[in-house]
Every structure is written in structure tokens, then in C-alpha cells.
Structure 1
Amino acid sequence: MRPGDTLSSISGRYDVRVSDLREWNSIPKGEPLRVDGLLRLTAPDEPLPDWRTRVSPVTAAEANGDPAKECPVPATDLRKIWVRYLGFDRRAHDGYVIMHHTLAEPIQRAFGRLYRWRFPIMAMPPMVVEDRSVMTLGYECRFVAGTTRWSQHSYGLAIDVNPRQNPMLRGDYLDPPNSRTWLARERYWPGMMHEDGAVPAFTAEGFYWGGRWKTLLDYMHFSTNDR
């Protein structure tokens, strides 16, 4: 969905009935479309299932497979937050992010919004992919790139959403390196996050967005302390 799109304008553009668009996308009458969301233009094989979530403990091996790293938070402070999400295949999947236990409910509410808005997530654990640059991830025991300072991910206080579609740019350094196409932020391609679209799913829960930074731009990044 792009700014200015309505069910009526899409109905005329693609010669489909507004009532069918509502039914195929489970959009209640009177609910506006959300920028950054996906909209089906054909009938699905089956309705999108209800959203669901749960929280489970994190083992020491999941939190830190290498004890020599001496990660800054113990596994007991972390939680595996399972959420249902809409994939790029327009189907529902169940995945998780690991975050600090104090953020379990805010993260659940944020992903509940994304699912209701039909915002697509490319991949989340436990999905196995060859390229980790497509993964939406929270906790990772690692330093800030090029430093010996712990990343906010190492505390479970940050999450990166769809890195490929929402890259980080610092000077000439681009991460992921194969994401230059998505630096054209005036585009509204699937999985991109915009201020007027999917970003408020997290900022409404007290997260800060790296897409607002000045010294670098980190469109994938949300943290609780603006770092």
C-alpha cells in the first residue's frame, strides 16, 4: 500500500469490487488501509488465520553458544517471543524474536499490529535461510560493527526488521551490502518501513527508530534507548 491508496481507488485500478477486496483481506467496514501493508487482489485459498502469540524461556545455548563471549545479559533475562506473521508469500507463519523479558508484551503488541495491517516479514527464526540479511532478529550477542562496544541487541533491547528492505547506511558503508536498491525510500515496496506506515507499530510501544537518526540511517533498527 502507498500513500493515498483507498479501496475505491484500488477497485477502479484493478477492476475488482470493493466488497471482494474487504472479504479477501479480512478488512472490517470502516477500517482504513495502512501504508506498507499488502493487499490481495484475488481470493485466497483460505482466510488468513487469527493472529496468535506466546512466550517461552531461552536456554543458555540459544542465548550464547560461545561462553567465551561473556555476553552482558544471562539467558534468564531473555524470552523467546513467538508471533504469527504474514510472509512475502502472503501466507501466515509462526516465528520468534528473542528479547529482554521486559519487552515481551510491547513486542507482542507491535507484531499484532503488523499482522493486522498486513505488513509482510521476509523471514524469522526458526526458518532456516542461507542469507541472514533477510532475517528479522532481536537479541544477538555481538559488538557494534567496527567497535568493542556491546550492541543494544546484546542486551535484548533492539530489533532489526526486514534488513534487506530497510538497510543501514553510514557514509559509504551499507548493511546489508546487497540492499542498495531499497535506499530509494520514496518507494513503497513490500517489507519497507515508513514513518507513515509500519514504523508506528514499534514507536507506539516506546521504541526509537534508526530511520530518524542524523549521523547514520538505520531503517531496520528499533531500540528502547535510541541507540
Structure 2
Amino acid sequence: MGGVGRGQRAHVVRPGDTLAKVAKRHGVRIADLREWNRLGKGYQLQVDGMLRLTAPATPLPAWRTRTETVTATEANGDPAKACPVQPSDLRRIWVRYIDYQGVARNGSLIMHRSMAVPTQRAFAKLYHWRFPIMVMQPIAVNMPTLTDKSVLTSGYECRYVAGTTTWSQHSYGLAVDVNPRQNPMIRGSYPNHTYLDPPNSATWLARERYWPGMVHAEGAARAFTANGFAWGGRWTTLLDYMHFSTTDR
């Protein structure tokens, strides 16, 4: 979903948008926008949110979440890696999210147990703001044709910071990456970046644009910063637009 103008299926909210402006721009009724997106009375549009411009096959369901414990295999895979957090301190967090087709799905990510509630609150905001997420686990259900796992919105992963032997904050379950392709990590100046991750994400370096899944300071980033996370999009030595962590690392 995406695009601008009449005949498009979705509209990504920009600064200054109102329901009246969006309705006029796309030739639809305000009442239909409210119905198609299940916007309650007094709902305020949120930057980076995505509004349907056509009737959905089924109405969006209410937001849901739950947590469960994880096994040592799920947490670390290979015990020889000696990951820095015990599996008993991790939780799988299930959240309902909206994908790029405007379909509600149930996805999960693993975080430190101390971050379960802040993570749930952040994803609840994203859902209520109608912010789209490309894909979350389980891939076999949410995007069975996916082969590039670098696009996953995810949390815990037992790994080092790229190019170092320092544990990533993901290894402690204290960091979340949101829509990596649309919110890349960059080091160096455009167009000769010394590092771009994911490598196929150069299209989304134009941060003045508002496309599905992009995170902006005045938009989706606030769902996490309001819940104790710092945003890598505010760093100076590099920019990591996908990355939210409790330690600002």
C-alpha cells in the first residue's frame, strides 16, 4: 500500500495532515476514512501512521498482546556462544500489528523480561496510530515467501556489534529494530556511505519523505521514546533509524 493521489490504497500521515485534508486529497469522505480505519471520535492523526483509502475485507480488530517464556534453544541456539543474558531473563512478546497491506497480524519478538511492559506499550501505540510494520516473526505465517530476514522487526539477538567483539544491546534484550529496510543504519556521508545496513536500503535515505514504515522523530519514534527507549536516529557518529535501546547504544 502507498502512494499519493486519487486511486491510491493508503496514505501515510505527514506533518500538518488532518482527516479533512486527507479526504479532500484522495477524493474520499471523512466518514469513510473513520470507518475504514476504525478511528474513534476525537482521534488525532499521528505522523507516520497509515490510513486505508478503501474499505477493508474485515474491520481491524482490537489490539492484543501476551508474553511467554523462551527455551534455551530459542534464546541462544548454540550454548557455546555464551550469550550475556540467561534464557530465564527473556520473554517472547506477542503483539498485534498492521502490515503494509493494512492487514492486522500477530507477531512476536524477544526482549529482556524487564522490558516486556515498555515494549508492549510502544507497540500498542504503533497499532493505535496505524503505523505499519513490514513483518515480524513467525515469518512462515506473516510472510511465507520472505527470504531476506534483514527486514524483520525484532528484538533480542545474540550477536556482537558489527565489526567488533562488543556485545550488541540486542544480546541483552534491551534493543528493538523497526522496519530495517525503511530505516537503515548509515555511517559516512551520502552518497559514499562507508556502511549501509541493510545494504539494499539506499532508497530510504531520503528522510524528508513519508513512506510506509519510515520512522521520523515527530512520528513513530515517539512510541518508543515515550516508553524509556532512546532512538538511534538522533545519534551523531552514525545514524541508526531502525534502532531503539534503553541504554542509547
* TM-score, scaled to structure 2: 0.90
- Choose from 218, 221, 227 the match for 1:196: 218
Instruction: Write the deviation string for residues 96-125 of structure 1: whole angstroms up to 9, x where unpaired.
Output: 110000000000010000000010010111
Amino acid at match of 1:102: S
Residue 35 of structure 1, aligned match among 47, 68, 71: 47
For residue 177 of structure 1, the aligned residue among 196, 199, 202 is: 199
Q: How does 1:212-223 map onto structure 2 within 5 Å? A: 212-223=234-245
Query: Partners in 2 of 1:210 and 1:12 — Cα distance?
Result: 36
Query: Using the alignment, how far apart are the partners of 2:247 and 2:76 within structure 1?
Result: 23
One-letter code aligned to 1:158: A
Equivalent residue of 1:112, what SS?
Answer: helix
What CA distance in whole angstroms lies between the structure 2 residues aligned with 1:126 and 1:16?
Answer: 35
Aligned to 1:161: 178
Residue 158 of structure 2 corresponds to which residue in structure 1? Answer: 141
Distance between the aligned counterparts of 1:144 and 1:13, measured in 2?
44
For structure 1, the 5+ residue unaligned runs are: none
Report SS of the residue matched to 1:39.
strand
Unaligned runs of 5+ in 2: 1-12, 141-145, 189-193
Mapped partners of 1:49, 1:212: distance in 2: 34
| Distance in 1 between residues matched to 2:184 and 2:139, nearest whole Å | 21
Q: Could you tell me how far apart the structure 1 residues matched to 2:96 and 2:208 are?
A: 28
Q: What one-letter code is carried by the residue in structure 1 that aligns with 2:77?
A: G
Shift of 1:29: 2.0
Range moving further from structure 2, 29-38 or 82-91: 29-38
- Report the counterpart of residue 84 of structure 1 in structure 2: 96
* CA apart distance, 1:200: 0.6
Q: Aligned letter for 2:158?
A: C
Cα deviation, residue 26, structure 1: 0.8
1:30-69 aligned within 5 A: 30-69=42-81
Deviation per CA, 1:43-96: give whole Å up to 9, x if none: 111110111000000100000111110000110000000000001111011011
CA RMSD of aligned residues (A): 0.8
Q: TM-score, normalised by structure 1?
A: 0.98
* Residue 114 (structure 1) aligns with: 126
- Residue 6 of structure 2 is matched in structure 1 by none
SS across alignment from 1:84 = strand
Query: After the TM superposition, which segments of 4 or more aligned residues of structure 1 sit over 6 Å from their partners?
Result: none
Count of residue pairs the alignment pairs up: 227
